[in-house]
């Protein structure tokens, strides 16, 4: 029997070394993308897809994350006194987005290890995992489509996207076979960050997963893989190959995705999102055009 999915797990324990020194005393998930921390986009995406319970797997500096999704009474009182209701709503909005929970990862032993830390909280239900480096445009549908597929197939579902072959060494790459649904494939193979030129396809895992709880038992016995880390991709490969708990399916996403994982992509994401905003776009667009004309 398919169960309604309510829980989202968000790994947020990375060291953020690519953004040092900005991330020296602050988690990289709190870096602003325009005027919202990256992590808030991800929590909003989970909530918009109907998930109500969010577990963050945190590391050091978790205070900023907890504070962001909590009341900030002094700030709220000041804004209220000033009658600045617009900003007050922005501050209050993140307080009650979801039922927030936090667990520390302890040793940073990889994404698979981070997800395994959710075992107690999640229990025996399917659950979603959202990685903070990938932002999905709220106008495009991905997570709710994946939840739908999870329910109808009662299997594990991951998000895939076609990437430039020159980039495939940065992702988990899938080998697939077609299904009757145009945007759904069955996963037959997975490889984590294949060496350049060796990727079996150009279908990359982007950071959204809807997992069946059987993944925990597999993760418990998954040996460290690529980079000496316990890889979620390796556990999913076992699930797919041995057809455990219905196997693994992929929803192929063709919408807008923004990568905030490294500095260059992060800058691009901010520009792309700002250009489309009603409050910033009208002034930013002509400025960008003028500015780009000065570049050779």
Residues found near ligand G1P in the complex (CB under 6 A)? 111, 131, 133-134, 171-172, 192, 204-207, 233, 261
In the complex, the smallest distance separating the C-beta of residue 187 from ligand G1P, rounded to whole angstroms, is 12
Using alpha carbons only, give the angle 195, 199, 201 rounded to the nearest 5 degrees. 165
In the complex, the smallest distance separating the C-beta of residue 84 from ligand G1P, rounded to whole angstroms, is 37
Q: Which is nearer to ligand G1P, 83 or 228 (CB)?
A: 228
In the complex, the smallest distance separating the C-beta of residue 96 from ligand G1P, rounded to whole angstroms, is 29
In the complex, the smallest distance separating the C-beta of residue 181 from ligand G1P, rounded to whole angstroms, is 22
Q: Which is nearer to ligand G1P, 61 or 233 (CB)?
A: 233
Which candidate, 189, 238, 248, places its Cα nearest to that of 217? 238
Residues sharing a CB contact under 8 Å with residue 187, sequence separation 6 or more, in sequence order = 158, 174, 175, 176, 236, 240, 247, 248, 249, 250
Q: 61: how many CB neighbours lie within 10 A of its CB?
A: 19
Q: 216 with 113: CB under 8 angstroms?
A: no
Q: Which is nearer to ligand G1P, 105 or 233 (CB)?
A: 233
In the complex, the smallest distance separating the C-beta of residue 159 from ligand G1P, rounded to whole angstroms, is 9
Q: Which is nearer to ligand G1P, 38 or 79 (CB)?
A: 38
Q: Which is nearer to ligand G1P, 149 or 234 (CB)?
A: 234
Q: Which is nearer to ligand G1P, 55 or 79 (CB)?
A: 55
CB-closest chain residue to ligand G1P:
172
DSSP state of 180: S
Give the ranges where the chain is alpha helix by DSSP (H). Answer: 38-48, 62-68, 73-82, 85-93, 111-116, 119-122, 143-153, 214-220, 232-241, 263-275, 281-293
Q: Which residues pair with 177 in a beta bridge?
A: 186
In the complex, the smallest distance separating the C-beta of residue 91 from ligand G1P, rounded to whole angstroms, is 30
């Amino acid at each position: 029997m398919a169960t309604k999915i309510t829980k989202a797990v968000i790994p947020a324990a990375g060291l953020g070394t690519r953004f040092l020194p900005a991330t020296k005393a602050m988690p990289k998930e709190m870096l602003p993308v325009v005027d919202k921390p990256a992590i808030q986009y991800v929590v909003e995406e989970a909530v918009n897809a109907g998930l109500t319970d969010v577990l963050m797997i945190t590391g050091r500096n978790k205070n900023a994350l907890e504070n962001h999704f909590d009341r900030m009474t002094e700030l709220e009182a000041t804004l209220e006194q000033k009658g600045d209701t617009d900003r007050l709503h922005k501050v209050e909005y993140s307080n009650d987005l979801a039922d927030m929970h936090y667990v520390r990862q302890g040793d940073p032993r990889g994404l698979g290890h981070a997800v395994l830390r959710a075992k107690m909280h999640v229990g025996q239900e399917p659950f979603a995992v959202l990685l903070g480096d990938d932002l999905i445009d709220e106008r495009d549908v991905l997570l709710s489509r994946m939840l739908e597929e999870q329910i109808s197939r009662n299997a594990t579902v991951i998000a895939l996207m076609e990437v430039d072959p020159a980039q495939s060494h940065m992702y988990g790459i899938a080998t697939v076979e077609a299904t009757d649904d145009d945007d759904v494939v069955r996963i037959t193979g997975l490889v984590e960050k294949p060496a350049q030129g060796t990727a079996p396809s150009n279908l990359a895992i982007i950071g959204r997963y809807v997992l069946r709880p059987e993944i925990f038992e597999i993760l418990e016995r998954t040996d460290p893989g690529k980079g000496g880390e316990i890889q979620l991709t390796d556990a999913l490969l076992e699930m797919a190959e041995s057809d455990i708990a219905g196997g693994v399916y992929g929803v192929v996403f063709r919408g807008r995705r923004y990568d905030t994982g490294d500095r260059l992509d992060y800058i691009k994401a901010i520009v792309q999102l700002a250009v489309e905003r009603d409050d910033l776009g009208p002034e930013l667009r002509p400025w960008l055009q003028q500015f780009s004309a000065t570049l050779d």
